[in-house]
Amino acid sequence: MPIAGNPESGNPESGNPDGEKDELARLLAAAARWQAAGHAMAIATVTRTWGSAPRRVGAHLLVRDDGLFEGSVSGGCVEGAVIEEALTCIASGTARLLNFGVASERAWEVGLACGGDISIMVQPAIAGYFPPDLFARIATARAAGRPLTLSTSLSSFETTQTAAGDFTRRYDPPLRLILVGAVHIAQSLVPLARQIGFAPMLVDPRGAFAAGPRFAGIAVDDRWPDEALESWQPDAATAVVTLTHDPKLDDPALAAALRSPAFYIAALGSRKTHAVRLERLAAQGFTAEQLARIHGPAGLDIGAANPAEIALSVAAQMVSVWRQRA
């Protein structure tokens, strides 16, 4: 069967409602639509990588019975072969484990000649393998800001909502970035955050800073930052970055962030400014261990010299902390 491709893949300019969602959200939305339309599906999952494999363990590719697909399990080098296998799994109602590597003749056929090994599990979305209701369970947990762990036996290929199998996959809530301050740096950081999978949320009660076309496409919340954060409820997949240099705005936001499980908290400003900031927060009762969660000055030291470069340094540090979390 010819591969239909993925014309539904998220593109904000295409009119696709999933365009602003992250990769996993788009896959889950596709699963819901396809289930509602009565399509059979198979899900492919990267279970092991070595060398130059372009996707991490846990990456998914969802394939429906006519070859339409969402997601990816490589940089495009093995997708064609995996989709063919997925269609076979849908037709036969069985699962299989695929292995591609430099020692395999098929590695040259599918494009892994540059080196690396990758193992991909393909399961039909049916009871006994990957029960279809798991898609909704993952989506519900993410919407509630909770992680969900699924486990799969690599002998039976059955996936359940436990952590006891040979292969486990944790589904985290959607990544969010809360920015305090509608300033020049935020103009660069908002689109960059979107490109790397974070949903940006911007708060600034100073009307003049959010006026005009400076932040077209994003609503600037005009509440005080602590009010906004109380409403937004930062979770373990949320980053909070303060950019105003104004203690009246930054300090309440940082205090709210420190009381939350936010994985990344950062504040713009010099080392001297940050030291004074820590003294103010300590006076509010925060311990040295709690205050150590704040990255200040915000961003990796890349010698940034303008707002766009500062935004890049903050984004890089944010991603680094996320990837190194336990």
49 and 190 part of one domain: no
40 and 189 part of one domain: no
21 and 94 part of one domain: yes
Average pLDDT over residues 256-263: 97
Phi-psi group of 128: left, alpha or beta (phi > 0 → left; psi -120 to 50 → alpha; rest → beta): left
Q: How far is CA 87 from the centre of its chain?
A: 27
202 and 157 part of one domain: no
Instruction: Give me the sheet containing 159-160, strands edge to edge.
Output: 159-160, 148-152, 167-171
101 and 200 part of one domain: no
Angle of the 271-283 helix axis to the 247-258 helix axis, nearest 10: 60
Query: Does residue 128 form part of some domain?
Result: yes
Predicted confidence (pLDDT) at residue 218 exceeds the cutoff of 70 = yes
Q: Which of 171, 200, 222 is the last residue of a domain?
A: 171
Query: Does residue 189 form part of some domain?
Result: yes
Residue 212 banded pLDDT, cuts 50, 70, 90: low
264 and 142 part of one domain: no
152 and 189 part of one domain: no
16 and 147 part of one domain: yes
What is the model's pLDDT at position 66? 96
12-34 pLDDT, tens digit per residue, is 332 333 445 788 999 999 999 99
113 and 183 part of one domain: no
95 and 235 part of one domain: no
Which residue range is the domain that position 300 belongs to? 176-321
Query: Does residue 2 form part of some domain?
Result: no
Query: Does residue 30 form part of some domain?
Result: yes
Looking up residue 317, the CATH number of its domain turns out to be 3.40.50.720
DSSP string, 208-259: HHH-GGGGTTSPEE-S-HHHHHHHH---TTEEEEE-S--HHHHHHHHHHHHT
DSSP 264: E
What is the model's pLDDT at position 163? 72
pTM: 0.78
| CB of 63 closer than 8 Å to CB of 42 | yes
85-113 pLDDT, tens digit per residue, is 999 999 999 999 999 875 555 544 544 54
Closest CA to 60 of 169, 145, 148: 169
181 and 161 part of one domain: no
Predicted confidence (pLDDT) at residue 223 exceeds the cutoff of 50 = yes
What is the model's pLDDT at position 7? 40
Query: Does residue 109 form part of some domain?
Result: yes
Closest CA to 204 of 234, 260, 245: 245
Q: Which of 171, 196, 230 is the last residue of a domain?
A: 171
Q: What domain count does the chain have?
A: 2
Q: Which of 154, 171, 188 is the last residue of a domain?
A: 171
27 and 164 part of one domain: yes
What is the model's pLDDT at position 16? 33
Predicted confidence (pLDDT) at residue 47 exceeds the cutoff of 60 = yes
132-189 pLDDT, tens digit per residue, is 999 999 999 999 888 999 999 999 999 999 877 899 999 999 999 999 999 999 999 9
Query: Does residue 3 form part of some domain?
Result: no
Residue 213 banded pLDDT, cuts 50, 70, 90: confident
What is the model's pLDDT at position 50? 80
Look over the chain and give the mean of its residue pLDDT values, rounded to a whole number: 88
Give the Cα separation of 91 and 259 in Å (integer): 51
Query: Does residue 290 form part of some domain?
Result: yes
